[in-house]
A = this chain, B = another copy of it.
């Protein structure tokens, strides 16, 4: 089933204790597509400036990413510069230049309007609503947001919640949105406002899937070396949505599997700078890592005996 992502296409300059990049391809749509395309073709809607090194995106195209929804506009590309703390647990944004992204008004090519699985990356909720207006029959819509929109466009964000199936945010965003520091109560708050499910990303602590009846927890994959946390959340979203689109199965067991595929993609994302790692990840690698998650968390009940 067709899978579409709308989000940022950026040039990232990131410094971690282990190295740095300058103007490397990044942004939510790029991380989503790089991860998701390993499982299923991805249609990308976004904008780049006239200075964007389009060759950097061509490798995505070779891997099943449809870039016909990427508009090239006159002006500078979106640039983001950040520096991580020594333990990668926090980061400081040093510079954000929106460039052509500031005037971005997503317009879907006609073929994209039949999209069944839709991920609305972190952009203005007004634009997210505008994208949904162009897609008449989605099977599943998931949506990210960030603190900036939670504060500056809260009403539109609440309107958006009434039209999506899954809100997928990190724990800090869930807390800010709901005003509740307890993450499980924050998830309930979200479910009362429209979405059938909340996916809460917890960085090095994994992610939660909460619906009305159950909670599913997937931990983060144990990694002895983490190089760059940038984009892990979007890679998670790419793995999650691409697994669902590939299987076209929204039953609870498959949603749980999708969480594990998401966590696997998140773990690959942090093993190298930017989207580099995905150039080498195969479907077999993904499956091996999914089995690794099973090994990591599996235990057998043994109720027949003491105690």
- The answer to whether A181 and B246 touch across the interface, beta carbons within 8 angstroms, is no
Chain B residues with CB under 8 Å of A219's CB are: 206, 217, 219
**A40 CB within 8 Å of chain B:** yes
Chain B residues whose CB sits within 8 angstroms of the CB of A297 once the complex forms: 216-218, 297
Interchain CA distance A246-B306 in the complex, whole Å? 7
Contact A299 B40 (CB under 8 A): no
A55 within 8 A of B: no
Please state the number of chain copies in the assembly: 2
Is the Cβ of B216 less than 8 Å from the Cβ of A299? yes
In the bound complex, what is the Cα–Cα distance between A215 and B223 (angstroms)? Answer: 11
Asked if A63 CB lies within 8 Å of chain B CBs, one says no
Contact between B253 and A300 (Cβ–Cβ < 8 Å)?
Answer: yes
> How far apart are A8's CB and chain B's nearest CB, in angstroms?
26
A117-125, A126-134, A254-262: which lies at the interface? A254-262
- Return chain B residues, CB-CB under 8 Å to A287: 303
Q: A182-B225, A297-B297 are in contact. Are A307 and B40 (CB under 8 A)?
A: yes
Using Cβ atoms and an 8 Å threshold, which residues of chain B touch A86? 181
* Chain B binder among A19-27, A70-78, A94-102, A288-296: A288-296
Inter-subunit contact A217/B222 (CB<8 Å): yes
Contact with B along A216-251 (1 / 0, CB 8 A): 111100111110000000000000001100110000
A:170-226 near B, CB below 8 Å = 181-182, 184-185, 188, 202, 205-206, 208, 214-219, 222-226
User: Of all chain B residues, which has the CB nearest A86?
Assistant: B181
In contact, A257 and B217 (Cβ under 8 angstroms): no
The interface size of chain A toward B, counting residues with CB under 8 Å, comes to: 52
Does A92 lie at the interface of the complex (its beta carbon under 8 Å from any beta carbon of B)?
no
Decide yes or no whether A305 CB sits under 8 A from chain B: yes
Q: Mark A35-71, 1 if CB is under 8 A from B, else 0.
A: 0000110000000000000000000000000000000
A172 → chain B closest CB, angstroms: 12
| A82, B208: Cα distance in complex, Å | 31
Cα–Cα distance between A182 and B220 once the two chains are bound (Å): 13
B247 touches A305 (CB 8 A): yes
Given contacts A184-B223, A257-B302, list 7 more A-B pairs with CB under 8 A: A39-B307, A184-B222, A188-B224, A206-B219, A219-B219, A290-B301, A297-B297
13 A-B residue contacts at CB 8 Å? A184-B222, A202-B205, A208-B222, A215-B296, A217-B222, A217-B297, A219-B219, A242-B307, A247-B306, A256-B300, A257-B299, A293-B299, A297-B297
Chain A contacts to B: CB under 8 angstroms = 39-40, 86-87, 181-182, 184-185, 188, 202, 205-206, 208, 214-219, 222-226, 242-243, 246-247, 253-254, 256-257, 259-260, 283, 287, 290-291, 293-303, 305-307
